[in-house]
Amino acid sequence: MGPPGAGKGSQSAKIVEHYVMPSISTGQMFRDAYSNNEPIGIEAMKFIKNGNLVSDDITNKIVALRLSKQDAEDGFLLDGYPRTVAQAIALDKMLDEMGTKLDAVINILSSNDVLFERMEQRRVCRTCGTTYHLRFKAPSVEGVCDKCGGELYQREDDSHESVMNRLMIYETKTKPLLDYYDKKGILFNVNGMQSFDKVYEDVELVLGEF
Ligand code: ADP
Ligand code: ADP
Ligand code: ZN
């Protein structure tokens, strides 16, 4: 968990390199569905582009479907889900039915100044979803993905207005979840305002316990 731009996607990529398991990013699933012209993606993008949340109903459904796939049987990482208390309750129900539970919730902390800068400088590969930063994680060739050669683009919701809205929605809808998981005793805070590797070291300190 963490506000938009905190580094959830970047750390998820590092985590699943080490602990082999699927990384399930609702934002990335919506973006993929949109680029494949799927109705769910087109519907979701109406909300995403302005920085609003997609409905709990649609979001819970795509997560339930994803968790039912075989590769999630031995563990998984959720990135950007849940984002509302209603989603957290729905997730608890899904996990109950699967006979499993969350081991840990990692919350990446960051200041708004850092978040604004990161989202302004973020570029994403249209083909494989790999994320870059124009200064801190620049591609070797401008505009081209190092991994797959795909085209890099700036997300429509990384515009200044959308970012303002996303940060406000984070405060009102998502932040209350921290308390929800803290009460369960599974919330771990990590300082996201450090280098990629240093943040990951701190993440490892948490995950190493399990
Ligand atoms: P989130 O998934 O939380 O929105 P990302 O992982 O996409 O965040 O990161 C947002 C932007 O900030 C990206 O451009 C990414 O490359 C960059 N970034 C992420 N973590 C760091 C870090 N520790 N130091 C510098 N830049 C970072
Ligand atoms: P970021 O963390 O940088 O905002 P994400 O890729 O996680 O990026 O999410 C992008 C957008 O996708 C969100 O602003 C929201 O519109 C939508 N989205 C992603 N996850 C959810 C969710 N769990 N519930 C509702 N909307 C979501
Ligand atoms: Zn790529």
Looking at the CA of 131, which ligand is closest? 1
Residue 27 burial (10 A CB sphere; 0-12, 13-18, 19+): buried
Pseudo-torsion of CA 178, 95, 203, 127, nearest 10°?
A: -100
Tokens of 16: 């699943």
How far away, in angstroms, is 65 Cα from ligand 3 center?
A: 25
Q: How confident is the model over 22-52, as pLDDT tens digits?
A: 999 999 999 999 999 999 999 999 999 999 9
Residue whose CA is at the smallest distance from ligand 2 atom 4: 4
Nearest atom within ligand 1 for CA of residue 131: 16
What pLDDT is recorded for position 166?
Answer: 98
How many C-alpha atoms does 63 have within 13 Å on its Cβ side? 29
What pLDDT is recorded for position 210?
Answer: 85
Could you tell me which of 119, 111, 117, 129 has the C-alpha nearest to residue 159? 119
Looking at the CA of 198, which ligand is closest? 1
How far away, in angstroms, is 138 Cα from ligand 1 center?
A: 12
Please give the model's pTM, rounded to 2 decimal places: 0.97
Q: 125-158 burial, b if ≥16 CB within 10 A, otherwise e?
A: beeebbbbbeeeeebeeeeebeeeebebeebebb
Strands 131-133 and 23-25: unpaired
